Structure 1
Amino acid sequence: MNNKNSILNIAKKTIDLESNAIANLATLLTNDFSESVELIYNSKGRVIITGIGKSAIIASKIVATLNSTGTPSVFMHAADAIHGDLGLILEDDVVICISKSGNTPEIKVLVPLIKSANNKMIAITGNVKSFLGQQADYVLNTFVEQEACPNNLAPTTSTTAQLVMGDALAVCLLELRGFSSRDFAKYHPGGALGKRLYLRVNDLSSVNEKPQVQLNTNIKQVIIEISEKMLGVTAVVENDKIVGIITDGDLRRMLSKNDSFTNLTAKDIMSSNPKRIDENAMAIDAMELMETNGISQLLVENNGKYAGVVHIHDLIKEGII
């Protein structure tokens, strides 16, 4: 038990230490940050982000974030850059160089080469007085008092600070570009995230059967309709408009209350005013409506007329749930 408590205390200490360091970043922001954002926003080129070691991993993640939010970016490993990859940098590109110390050998070789090509350079460093800090056009200070590592050696707090600074850049650029959820969907067409942003109800309901009965349809035909269409539900329709719904649950309740159902019709067991959704609504809205009301199906309308059914299994199949 003591061992478990010790582990939890170490974890809490790590989280507290890193969260305090991140909070302190806000006090380190200067005009260099806003000018860096404006430089990237107004640039006709891309953002080239480079680093060495753990900073290179953070650079790669920031590249992914920028690309997904509308700022074309390319990762360039600092070691590879000085062995041939420097050709990645084009005339109008802005270079971001990430280094905790700002004094690593690779950085010292790379920085003069970037400056000789007249590309603007932004430094993300924990040491503004370093070689990198002194040579960069703009400096984003990510100084941290100590690493979460008990030996104050393994990059932990410092890489978190670098990542947060990169996120701050990305979000500022996103806001300046007026980047919307529709834009986000364009860059994320695959996977559940993209589908949540662009998939509409009609994309799901249109491939389903369209179960429907009339008010005076006898119960036997209602059961057949529900069984054949395999959605566990049927709409009750009059003049193409939804007037009710009958689910598997309604049939079970009917059987528990009636010894004979020979003379019953759809209108005798249907639920009036069922939950429904327009076919042009987002699929994510259908999911929220189902969750809020604790139901598994929604009837779908098109201009007030019955258009089909969307089932919770459709949402699960598409990875939205």
Structure 2
Amino acid sequence: MLDLTSQPSFITEQGSNMSHVELSSGACFPGNCSEDCCFQQAGKEVLQIERNALAQLDQYINHDFSHACEKIFNCQGKVVVMGIGKSGHIGRKIAATFASTGTPAFFIHPTEASHGDLGMVTSQDIVLAISNSGETGEILSLIPILKRQKILLIAMSGNPKSNMGEVADIHLCIKVPEEACPLGLAPTASTTATLVMGDALAVALLKKRRFTPQHFALSHPGGLLGRKLLVRVDEIMHIGTEIPQVTLDASLRDALLEITQKKLGLTVICDDQMKIAGVFTDGDLRRVLSDNTFDLNNAKIAEVMTSGGIHISADKLAVEALNLMQSHNITVLLVVEDERLLGVVHMHDLLKAGIV
């Protein structure tokens, strides 16, 4: 039990002033500093301690780390992450990072594992057990069963000589010089080191698998990245009668009516085979109106159109259409296959699809 009377750390209120007591050497708390400096100094001390911890962690990216990556890469099942308390919270994040970067994984609470959830673990899986001390009883009680089932055990702890470290097939050390907590009680630097070691594993495996943004999007279909990397142009383009188009012999008046009816800010000029001759946009209309040499009542669209048009293939990603629009400072793209018009896609369509 902690002897609270021996702790030199408390702050008492006296009227409008706060008496100051130091928790550790060099610490700064209300009473002997400006309004903000005590918090800032404490925060900077934490950052420095945790930076030092991560610098120390570099030495543990060694053969054991490579061995763990190799086993996980060749695993035919899943990585089952276990941990209690703060290690459990970090373990959940590590499992989630694995799962979203190409390494199938899930988290099991060791207590729940002892009451039936261990049935989710198969002999093809790998267990990644996390405990800073390496002496977590709930995990140690599961190890004989894991060994009996010949399940590979990777232990991540701060003590290679702990019971977990000794019985594990592979041990990843996460030892830190000190915790950022001045009482040395709350896991701080050690949990940061654990999280970073998990990230190092996940990213090393991601690179080995040649994991791409498209692979990442498949596990994030509901997110912005998923939409950007999964939605194609042919899923959002306007087709058929929705396409604003006129023939080469159409009048300027006909073209203006088509632009007004279809409400996409342009019309495409095509021949009978849907081969594109040019486009006429709102911007082209302003140009024509400013030119007094045109006879607006009798002008043909072929006289005032802009030849060609910026286009994209139907099988391209919608985000590529967005990039093309932005690079050309336009709001509509033609969708073309074999030089023939298939459809049009407007910036508003990208907005509706959540691409922008």
Q: TM-score range by the shorter chain?
A: 0.7 to 0.9
- TM-score, reference length from structure 1: 0.86
Aligned to 1:296: 331
Pairwise CA distance, 1:95: 0.5
Q: Does 1:223 align with 2:252?
A: no
Secondary structure of the residue that 1:86 maps to in structure 2? helix
Q: Does 1:214 align with 2:247?
A: yes
Q: Does 1:31 align with 2:66?
A: no
- Structure 1 unmatched runs, 5+: none
Identity score, percent: 44
Pairwise CA distance, 1:73: 1.8
Alignment: residue pair count: 320
Q: Does 1:234 align with 2:267?
A: yes
For residue 349 of structure 2, the aligned residue among 311, 314, 319 is 314
Write out per-residue CA displacement over residues 199-236 of structure 1, whole angstroms, 9 at most, x where no aligned residue: 22112115582111234422222121112112122222
Secondary structure of the residue that 1:205 maps to in structure 2? coil
Aligned to 1:145: 177
Cα pair distance change 1:71/1:265, threshold 3 Å: same
**Distance across 2 between alignment mates of 1:275 and 1:185:** 28
Pairwise CA distance, 1:286: 0.9
Aligned to 1:175: 207
Q: Does 1:46 align with 2:78?
A: yes
User: What one-letter code is carried by the residue in structure 2 that aligns with 1:286?
Assistant: A
Q: How does 1:63-102 map to 2 (within 5 A)?
A: 63-102=95-134
Pairwise CA distance, 1:116: 4.0
Secondary structure of the residue that 1:246 maps to in structure 2? strand
For residue 133 of structure 1, the aligned residue among 157, 162, 165 is 165
For residue 162 of structure 1, the aligned residue among 183, 189, 194 is 194
**Distance across 2 between alignment mates of 1:275 and 1:194:** 26
**Distance across 2 between alignment mates of 1:7 and 1:171:** 34
Contact 1:192 1:318 in 2 (8 A): no
Secondary structure of the residue that 2:111 maps to in structure 1? helix
Cα pair distance change 1:222/1:22, threshold 3 Å: farther
User: What one-letter code is carried by the residue in structure 1 that aligns with 2:283?
Assistant: G
Larger Rg: 2
Bigger helix share: 1
**Worse-superposed segment, 298-307 or 174-183:** 174-183
Contact 1:133 1:139 in 2 (8 A): yes
- Structure 2 unmatched runs, 5+: 1-33
Contact 2:81 2:95 in 1 (8 A): yes
**Distance across 2 between alignment mates of 1:86 and 1:155:** 27
For residue 284 of structure 2, the aligned residue among 246, 250, 263 is 250
Pairwise CA distance, 1:256: 4.4
Q: How does 1:92-131 map to 2 (within 5 A)?
A: 92-131=124-163
**Worse-superposed segment, 144-153 or 121-130:** 144-153
Contact 1:37 1:169 in 2 (8 A): yes
Cα pair distance change 1:9/1:263, threshold 3 Å: farther
